[in-house]
């Protein structure tokens, strides 16, 4: 009897914690037009191995969606974050690859036309 009651209480408490966390970390994004996960600038920077200045820079250029949470803190919309870094990563990757092996690659392409 008491065991059952206890586990019930624990279950309810766990549910509350999960819901509470979810609420504080997600919000409606006006630009995505749906509920999105929120990242703090710090979390966002950590996630993508960059710094908070970079995140702020992208947010200022409206590439990242800024959302105020209930505490009035400015948070970053996770969807815009992932989209931004996906396009950014491909853009940054290409010149780097070219810089290293472009001359040889071009030569090879010229010598063996397909």
Please pick, from the candidates 25, 31, 66, 88, the single residue that binds Zn ion as defined by CB under 5 A: 31
User: Could you write out the three-class secondary structure of 29-95?
Assistant: ECCCCEEEEEECHHHHHHHCCCCHHHHHHHHHCCCCCEEECCCCCEEEEHHHHHHHHHHHHHHHHHH
Instruction: Determine phi and psi for 98, rounding to 5 degrees.
Output: -65, -40
- Using CB under 5 A as the binding criterion, the count of chain residues that bind Zn ion stands at 7
- The yes or no reply on residue 80 touching Zn ion (CB under 5 A) is yes
User: How far apart are CB 69 and Zn ion at their closest, in Å?
Assistant: 14
Please pick, from the candidates 24, 25, 26, 32, the single residue that binds Zn ion as defined by CB under 5 A: 32
Contacting range for Zn ion; rule: CB under 5 A; set: 17-25, 27-35, 45-53, 85-93 = 27-35
Cβ closer to Zn ion: 32 or 63?
A: 32
Element (H, E) at 28: strand 26-29
List residues near Zn ion by CB under 5 A: 29, 31-32, 65, 77, 79-80
């Amino acid at each position: 009897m008491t065991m059952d009651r206890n586990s019930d209480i624990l279950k309810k408490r766990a549910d509350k914690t999960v819901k509470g966390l979810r609420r504080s970390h997600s919000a409606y994004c006006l630009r995505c037009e749906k509920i999105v996960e929120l990242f703090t600038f710090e979390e966002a920077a950590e996630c993508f191995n960059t710094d908070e200045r970079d995140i702020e820079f992208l947010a200022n250029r409206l590439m990242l969606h800024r959302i105020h949470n209930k505490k009035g803190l400015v948070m970053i919309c996770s969807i815009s974050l992932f989209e931004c870094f996906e396009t950014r990563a491909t853009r940054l990757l290409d010149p780097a690859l070219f810089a290293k092996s472009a001359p040889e690659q071009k030569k090879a392409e010229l010598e063996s036309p397909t």
